């Protein structure tokens, strides 16, 4: 009953906000809508397509052709149901994350049982008991349903709602050992936003672990399945556009080359606004390598035994460093953090990160108003807020990773620090 009440309240809040006078303001906020996910641009693209004009010939529409056809159908057949559809999709995302987290908890239990022999006696009280593990899915559900970032993302009717659903289904499918479903949904998410391609690695590991097939063949099958599904998405998109692949430039090309420098909560827009044009290609490549490739190999080598943690971290890093991030992306990975509730006691920067999140979330709209409407500030003010927001997210992720390492070390070596029977002293040189 408590779960049903949560769903009802969360859906009513979203539905009510969509029908208030503030909806247009929310939907146009730079923190919520980007050139990739904006509802306004989506409607424009559908309108152009409906009138026989290729929406990819201009510079306003950047969604995939599959999304174009989907929303063309919805806007033609059931336009009055669109607010309900977005609310239901967001609630469904929360429910699938809830189901996925229950499977993740079972994986944690099995992993803890296997590693019990390596835990020293004095650290056995740190092992998670049944009640601590069973309450985690409820926290995941609550954080997604009532997180202001997720709520505003749904209210703004951005296509990030669909992307979050695709990511949630792919994580749940992988944790359940359903390779084909995981490949299909991660391919759809990649086709829409490109950056979810990073999740192929943890999903491959997770599927192999669940199916007890930790070998190269299992990983290759998952990778091959993803490539085939993604290729099929590309083929279907070309078929929709009458056999033309010109949409590539306004979808993947737009994401990678970052031509639209409208401010957002990311790091790209200000840097490329201030940079000399002849350096642009170099730094675009450097930024995109940082977002798409730099962290995958080292993090996989270190955390390959924890694919759920690896997936959480890669989702967070791709959110921070992608070219057009929004708060809907942030809200999704924040909902996964309760899975690591047992690490919070080892984290040292929780208070600083929480305060920074709250302050920057309040200051962002304030300095935007001062810059754009009052004229009493400039771009540096808004970029300072977005830079602080990104820094807080980086602190959160690094702190969580270090907390995992510290907890793992303490379980195996105990909390006492002695050398030759005497208390050890840590000295930095």
With beta carbons less than 8 A apart as the criterion, state whether 251 and 62 touch: yes
With beta carbons less than 8 A apart as the criterion, state whether 324 and 195 touch: no
* Number of structural domains found in the chain: 1
Within a domain: 28: yes
Within a domain: 394: no
Within a domain: 292: yes
The C-alpha atoms of residue 248 and residue 237 are separated, in whole angstroms, by 10
pLDDT at 254 over 90: yes
For the chain, percent of residues with pLDDT exceeding 90: 70
Residue 252 burial by CB count (10 A; 0-12/13-18/19+): exposed, middle or buried?
A: middle
Q: 60: which 2 tokens?
A: 């306003």
- Rounded to 5°, angle at Cα 72 from 235 and 319: 70
Within a domain: 162: yes
> Average pLDDT in the 361-388 region?
92
Within a domain: 10: yes
First to last CA, the chain: 57
Within a domain: 125: no
**Mean pLDDT over each residue of the chain, to the nearest integer:** 90
- Find the domain containing 199 and state its range: 2-117+134-346
* pLDDT tens column, 112-126: 888 777 777 777 777
Residue 176 burial by CB count (10 A; 0-12/13-18/19+): exposed, middle or buried?
A: middle
User: Which residues touch 208 (CB under 8 Å, ≥6 apart)?
Assistant: 214, 215, 218, 219, 222
Within a domain: 364: no
Q: Looking at the DSSP assignment, which residues form a beta bridge with residue 419?
A: 422
Instruction: Name the strand (E) or helix (H) holding 375.
Output: none
* pLDDT tens column, 129-168: 777 788 899 999 999 999 999 999 999 999 999 999 999 9
- Rounded to 5°, angle at Cα 309 from 290 and 116: 145
Among left, alpha and beta (phi > 0; psi -120 to 50; other), residue 4 is alpha
CA 72 from chain centre, in angstroms, equals 26
* pLDDT tens column, 26-65: 999 999 999 999 999 999 999 999 998 999 988 889 999 9
**Using 50, 70 and 90 to split pLDDT, how confident is the model at 213?**
low
Within a domain: 227: yes
* pLDDT tens column, 55-112: 998 888 999 999 999 999 999 999 999 999 999 999 999 999 999 999 999 888 888 8
> Average pLDDT in the 220-245 region?
93
For the chain, percent of residues with pLDDT exceeding 70: 96
């Amino acid at each position: 009953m408590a779960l049903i009440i949560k769903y009802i309240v969360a859906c009513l809040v979203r539905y009510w906000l969509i029908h208030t006078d503030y909806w247009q303001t929310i939907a146009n906020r730079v923190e919520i809508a980007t050139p990739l996910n904006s509802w306004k641009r989506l409607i424009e693209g559908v309108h152009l397509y409906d009138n026989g004009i290729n929406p990819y010939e201009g510079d306003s529409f950047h969604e995939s052709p599959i999304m174009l056809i989907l929303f063309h159908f919805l806007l033609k057949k059931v336009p009055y149901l669109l607010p309900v559809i977005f609310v239901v999709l967001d609630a469904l995302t929360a429910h699938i994350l809830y189901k996925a987290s229950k499977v993740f908890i079972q994986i944690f239990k099995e992993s803890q049982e296997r590693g019990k022999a390596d835990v020293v006696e004095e650290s056995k009280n740190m092992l998670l008991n049944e009640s601590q593990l069973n309450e985690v899915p409820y926290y995941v559900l609550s954080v997604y349903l009532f997180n202001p970032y997720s709520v505003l993302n749904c209210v703004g009717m951005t296509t990030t709602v669909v992307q979050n659903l695709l990511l949630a289904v792919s994580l749940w499918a992988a944790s359940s050992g359903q390779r084909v479903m995981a490949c299909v949904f991660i391919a759809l998410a990649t086709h829409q936003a490109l950056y979810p391609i990073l999740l192929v690695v943890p999903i491959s590991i997770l599927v192999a672990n669940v199916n007890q097939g930790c070998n190269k063949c299992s990983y290759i099958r998952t990778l091959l399945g993803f490539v085939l599904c993604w290729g099929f998405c590309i083929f279907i998109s070309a078929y929709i556009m009458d056999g033309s692949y010109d949409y590539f430039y306004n979808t993947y090309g737009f994401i990678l080359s970052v031509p639209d420098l409208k401010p957002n909560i990311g790091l790209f827009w200000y840097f490329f606004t201030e940079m000399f044009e002849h350096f642009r290609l170099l730094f675009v490549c450097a930024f995109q390598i940082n977002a798409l490739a730099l962290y995958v190999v080292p993090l996989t080598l270190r955390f390959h035994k924890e694919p759920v943690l690896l997936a959480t971290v890669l989702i967070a890093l791709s959110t921070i460093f992608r070219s057009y991030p929004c708060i809907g992306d942030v809200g999704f990975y924040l909902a996964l953090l309760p899975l690591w509730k047992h690490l919070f006691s080892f984290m040292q920067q929780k208070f600083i990160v929480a305060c920074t999140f709250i302050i920057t979330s309040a200051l962002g709209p304030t300095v935007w108003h001062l810059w754009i409407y009052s004229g009493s500030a400039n771009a540096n003010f808004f970029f300072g807020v977005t830079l602080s927001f990104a820094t807080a997210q980086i602190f959160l992720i690094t702190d969580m990773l270090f907390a995992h390492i510290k907890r793992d070390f303490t379980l195996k070596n105990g909390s006492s620090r002695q050398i030759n029977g005497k208390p050890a002293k840590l000295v930095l040189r």
